[in-house]
Amino acid sequence: MRIESKRIEREFQMTTDPLGEAYVTIRQVKFGEAVRRAEMQARRRQIIRNEDQGEMVIEQDWNHLKVMANEIILTLTGARGFATDDKGTELLRFKEKDGLSRLDMEDNDFYKALGSLDEKVVEEIHGFVKEMNPQWDPSAKGE
């Protein structure tokens, strides 16, 4: 038996675009991206403040909007019909390598580009991410 690693992706039309010209392409994640996402939630720290009473404080860094942005980074493979910046550069940039499209932006540049979009647009993109990767959708798991 041969195990294949086939890329599964789908293009979605953005309903938040009044002209109907904007599309995004989202892919299903592989194990490596799932590990990267899990690392965002893995930082925990236990602090014992009073040994006599056994008090313990558990701290965790958690920002659901940052998790949403990172899930988009891990899965977005294409976008068209989006705005350009003041210099005419596409807001979301991609490159082809070995026949596969990937984001061609540093994470900070992507956060800045994503931050310039209307919140409803980002929520719609993230909805497509969850549709392609239901394991990341707590409501789909009944949680």
Could you give the CA distance from residue 26 to residue 31 in angstroms, rounded to a whole number?
Answer: 16
Kindly state whether residue 49 falls inside one of the protein's structural domains.
no
pLDDT in tens, 99-141: 889 999 999 999 999 999 999 999 999 999 999 999 888 787 5
Could you give the CA distance from residue 85 to residue 123 in angstroms, rounded to a whole number?
Answer: 21
Range of the domain at 21: 9-31+61-137
Kindly state whether residue 26 falls inside one of the protein's structural domains.
yes
Tokens of 39: 């690392």
Tokens of 101: 């499209």
Kindly state whether residue 68 falls inside one of the protein's structural domains.
yes
Kindly state whether residue 87 falls inside one of the protein's structural domains.
yes
Could you give the CA distance from residue 49 to residue 51 in angstroms, rounded to a whole number?
Answer: 7
pLDDT in tens, 6-60: 889 999 999 999 999 999 999 999 888 888 888 876 766 666 677 677 666 677 6
| Total domain count, the chain | 1
Kindly state whether residue 50 falls inside one of the protein's structural domains.
no
Kindly state whether residue 105 falls inside one of the protein's structural domains.
yes
Q: Which of 93, 133, 142 is nearest to 113 (CA)?
A: 93
pLDDT score for 71: 94
Kindly state whether residue 111 falls inside one of the protein's structural domains.
yes
The confidence band for 76, taking pLDDT boundaries of 50, 70 and 90, is very high
> How far is residue 91 from each of residues 16, 53, 115, 120, 129, measured CA to CA in Å?
17, 54, 11, 17, 19
